[in-house]
């Protein structure tokens, strides 16, 4: 059978450049798809960190003029990833964050930067690279979502997929950006990028892609409703027949408690007792009192989405129950402040590290008893999957991918040996408190707790199943094209 050639287009990819779960997905999926006869090449912007990682590379194509400057495509292989890097210094060679300028606001030219990424992807999709014609172009999130628009309105037949990792980010810009895009006038329409009088990048992608995926079946249903669709639910409902929910996996080689260098002590399902060394290491790092009681962790962006304001408001109750919290996160300044104040109010019981620290996130999974993910909405969520893999029991809100990946420890699930975590209603103080109390009760029964940990560790959180679903989707798209 002929190998399917997929061009993935993404603003982030692990291990080169990451601000969230999207990077983990685009970094892990190519390896998983290779086992399913799919070869993935990934187009990413040439941010300074990316340019450093690829070294010299090989320039294989030149765009004499791409939205205000010359750009090159550089082919490189990093960490087993087959990359095409869009080296466009006028758009991507700048210090600081990927999406935000030094003033903390979106870069003034984000509309241009990510139109350029999509436009370049469209060119590759139509076959400008000698000897390379992708069968499918797979665009991730709004930053890449104009790709199917360029292809559709350019009259090109290559099959396209858009994956939504989070409906909250849509790439909406004023209408006067439209002439800059270089699309035909007809693209400013219901079937193209027009969105409430402005330009919607994700909207355009969702309208033009042959298939739409999002990162869990529950979120796929949720985004067809007004409460979660963030204005695009009508379009998604209309395109429901091409919308698929495919849950994310994790890289089980990177996330493996038996071999993880970031842990003070490695362990496996037969040696859970060894996790205690990691608990001690966490206590030291987070200035927590040493004790064997329930230790929760949080590893998260601190934003409204994650429901951590509700947790912050209930920290006194958490501490009063005898539990402790180690929180690693950054984001919203007011939330950071709230958690720092809680740590001052409860010295030794609440430890907070503001920042982004990949190894520390591993240690937390390897030593905390439970991970809290009380999100208001959660397209898939990865940290609960790390928790499962590390025997760090997830305590989560019943929404999106959290609902799809955790089995609540209700009576039936406990007696069937299927329970892997604790679930509660999202964004509800009373529900969260009840879940914390329930978790405390479960923890007190150490045999039961160990059963939860083991059931979680046995859950398949790898990419195997989901990569097979993506591969099946690509095959289906190619069959439809032939028909
Ligand atoms: P989102 O993409 O909405 O931020 P996910 O759970 O899908 O949420 O993915 C978040 C990813 O970022 C996970 O890999 C998580 O471990 C990581 N992460 C988030 N915050 C931090 C942090 N402060 N330090 C280290 N890793 C973090």
Q: 159-164 and 136-140: which strand pairing?
A: parallel
Instruction: Find the domain containing 370 and state its range.
Output: 272-458
Q: How far is the CA of 429 from the centre of ligand 1 (A)?
A: 23
Closest atom, ligand 1, to C-alpha of 248: 7
Cis check for the bond before 15: say yes or no (omega within 30 of 0). Answer: yes
Judge if 208 and 354 occupy the same domain: no
**21 CA → ligand 1 middle, Å:** 6
Beta bridge partners of 138: 8, 161
Backbone conformation region of residue 127, classed left if phi is above 0, alpha if psi is from -120 to 50, else beta: left
Rg (CA), the chain: 23
Domain annotation covers residue 263? no
CA-based nearest residue to 423, from 390, 361, 463, 381: 381
Could you tell me the distance, in angstroms and rounded to a whole number, from the CA of residue 430 to the centre of ligand 1? 26
Q: Are residues 413 and 279 in the same domain?
A: yes
Instruction: Mark whether 438 and 475 lie in a shared domain.
Output: no
Q: Is residue 267 part of a domain?
A: no
Q: Do 185 and 331 share a domain, yes or no?
A: no
Q: For position 92, what pLDDT does the model report?
A: 98
Number of compact structural domains in the chain: 2
SS3 call for 424: strand
- 113 in the same domain as 33: yes
**Residue 233 maps to which CATH number?**
3.40.50.2000
Which atom of ligand 1 lies nearest, measured to the CA of 382?
6
| Ligand 1 midpoint to CA 300 (Å) | 5
Whose CA is closest to atom 18 on ligand 1? 300
Q: Could you identify the atom of ligand 1 that is nearest to the CA of residue 306? A: 3
The confidence score (pLDDT) of residue 102 equals 86
Q: How many angstroms separate the Cα of 342 from the Cα of each of 303, 309, 329?
A: 17, 12, 14
Mutate to test the pocket of ligand 1, among 383, 384, 396 (most ligand atoms within 8 A of CB): 383
Residues 144 and 11 in one domain: yes
> Within this chain, do residues 301 and 436 fall inside the same structural domain, yes or no?
yes
Specify whether 283 is located in the same domain as 424: yes
For a ligand 1 pocket test, name from 11, 15, 24 the mutation site with the most ligand atoms within 8 angstroms of its C-beta: 24
Q: 243 and 124, same structural domain?
A: yes
Please tell me the distance between residue 353's alpha carbon and the centre of ligand 1 in angstroms.
14
**CB 337 within 8 Å of CB 302:** no
Per-residue confidence (pLDDT) for residue 143, from 0 to 100: 98
The pLDDT of residue 57? 79
Strand partners, 44: 85
Asked if residue 480 has its Cβ within 6 Å of ligand 1, the reply is no
**Structure tokens given for 251:** 């890289």
- CA-CA distance, 235 to 216, in Å (whole number)? 18
Nearest CA to ligand 1 atom 20: 300
Distance 381 CA to ligand 1 centre (A): 8
- What is the structure's pLDDT at 461? 97
- Is residue 421 situated within a structural domain? yes
pTM score? 0.95
**In terms of domains, do 427 and 468 share one?**
no
Q: Is residue 257 part of a domain?
A: no
Task: Specify whether 381 is located in the same domain as 446.
Answer: yes
Strand order through the sheet with 350-354: 350-354, 324-331, 295-302, 370-373, 393-397, 422-424
Q: Do both 20 and 118 map to the same domain?
A: yes
Taking the centre of ligand 1 as the mean of its atom positions, its distance from the CA of residue 196, in whole angstroms, is 32
pLDDT tens per residue across all 483 residues of the chain: 799 999 999 999 999 999 888 999 999 999 999 999 999 999 999 999 999 999 887 899 999 999 999 999 999 999 999 999 999 999 999 988 899 988 889 999 999 999 999 999 999 999 999 999 999 999 999 999 999 999 999 999 999 999 999 999 999 999 999 999 999 999 999 999 999 999 999 999 999 999 999 999 999 999 999 999 999 999 999 999 999 999 999 989 999 999 999 999 999 999 999 999 999 999 999 999 999 999 999 999 999 999 999 999 999 999 999 999 999 999 999 999 999 999 999 999 999 999 999 999 999 999 999 999 999 999 999 999 999 999 999 999 999 999 999 999 999 999 999 999 999 999 999 999 999 999 999 999 999 999 999 999 999 999 999 999 999 999 999 999 887
List, in order, residues 6 or more apart from 271 with CB less than 8 Å away.
none
């Amino acid at each position: 059978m002929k190998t399917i050639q997929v061009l993935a287009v993404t603003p982030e990819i692990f291990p080169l450049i990451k601000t969230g779960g999207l990077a983990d997905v685009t970094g892990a999926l190519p390896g998983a798809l290779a086992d399913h006869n799919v070869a993935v090449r990934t187009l990413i912007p040439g941010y300074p960190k990316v340019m450093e990682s690829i070294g010299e590379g090989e320039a294989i194509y030149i765009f004499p003029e791409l939205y205000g400057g010359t750009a090159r495509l550089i082919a490189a292989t990093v960490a087993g990833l087959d990359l095409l890097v869009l080296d466009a210094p006028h758009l991507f060679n700048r210090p600081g964050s990927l999406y935000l300028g030094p003033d903390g606001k979106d870069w003034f030219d984000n509309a241009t930067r990510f139109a350029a990424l999509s436009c370049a992807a469209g060119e590759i999709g139509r076959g400008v690279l000698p000897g390379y014609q992708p069968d499918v172009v797979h665009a991730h999130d709004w930053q890449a979502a104009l790709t199917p628009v360029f292809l559709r309105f350019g009259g090109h037949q290559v099959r396209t997929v858009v994956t939504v990792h989070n409906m909250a980010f849509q790439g909406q810009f004023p209408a006067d950006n439209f002439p800059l895009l270089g699309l035909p006038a007809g693209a400013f329409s219901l079937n193209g990028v027009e969105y409430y009088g402005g330009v919607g990048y994700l909207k355009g992608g969702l309208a033009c892609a042959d298939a739409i995926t999002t990162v869990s079946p529950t979120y796929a249903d949720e985004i067809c409703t007004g409460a979660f669709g963030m204005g695009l639910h009508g379009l998604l409902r209309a395109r429901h027949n091409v919308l698929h929910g495919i849950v994310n996996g994790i890289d089980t080689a990177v996330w493996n408690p038996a071999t993880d260098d970031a842990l003070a002590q490695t362990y496996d399902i037969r040696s859970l007792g060894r996790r205690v060394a990691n608990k001690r290491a966490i206590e030291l790092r987070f200035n927590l009192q040493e004790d064997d009681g329930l230790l929760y962790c949080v590893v998260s962006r601190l934003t409204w989405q994650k429901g951590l304001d509700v947790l912050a408001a209930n920290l006194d109750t958490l501490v009063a129950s005898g539990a402790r919290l180690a929180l690693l996160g950054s984001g919203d300044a007011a939330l950071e402040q709230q958690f720092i104040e809680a740590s001052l109010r409860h010295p030794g019981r609440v430890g907070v590290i503001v920042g982004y620290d990949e190894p520390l996130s591993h240690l937390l999974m390897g030593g905390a008893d439970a991970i809290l993910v009380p999100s208001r909405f959660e397209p898939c969520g990865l940290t609960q999957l790390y928790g499962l893999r590390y025997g760090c029991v997830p305590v989560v809100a019943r929404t999106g991918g959290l609902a799809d990946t955790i089995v609540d420890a209700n009576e039936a699930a406990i007696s069937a040996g299927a329970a892997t975590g604790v679930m509660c209603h999202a964004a509800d103080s009373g529900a969260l408190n009840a879940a914390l109390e329930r978790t405390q009760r479960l923890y007190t029964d150490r045999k039961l707790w160990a059963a939860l940990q083991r059931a979680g560790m046995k859950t398949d959180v790898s990419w195997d199943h989901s990569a097979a679903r993506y591969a099946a989707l690509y095959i289906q798209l190619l069959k439809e094209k032939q028909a």
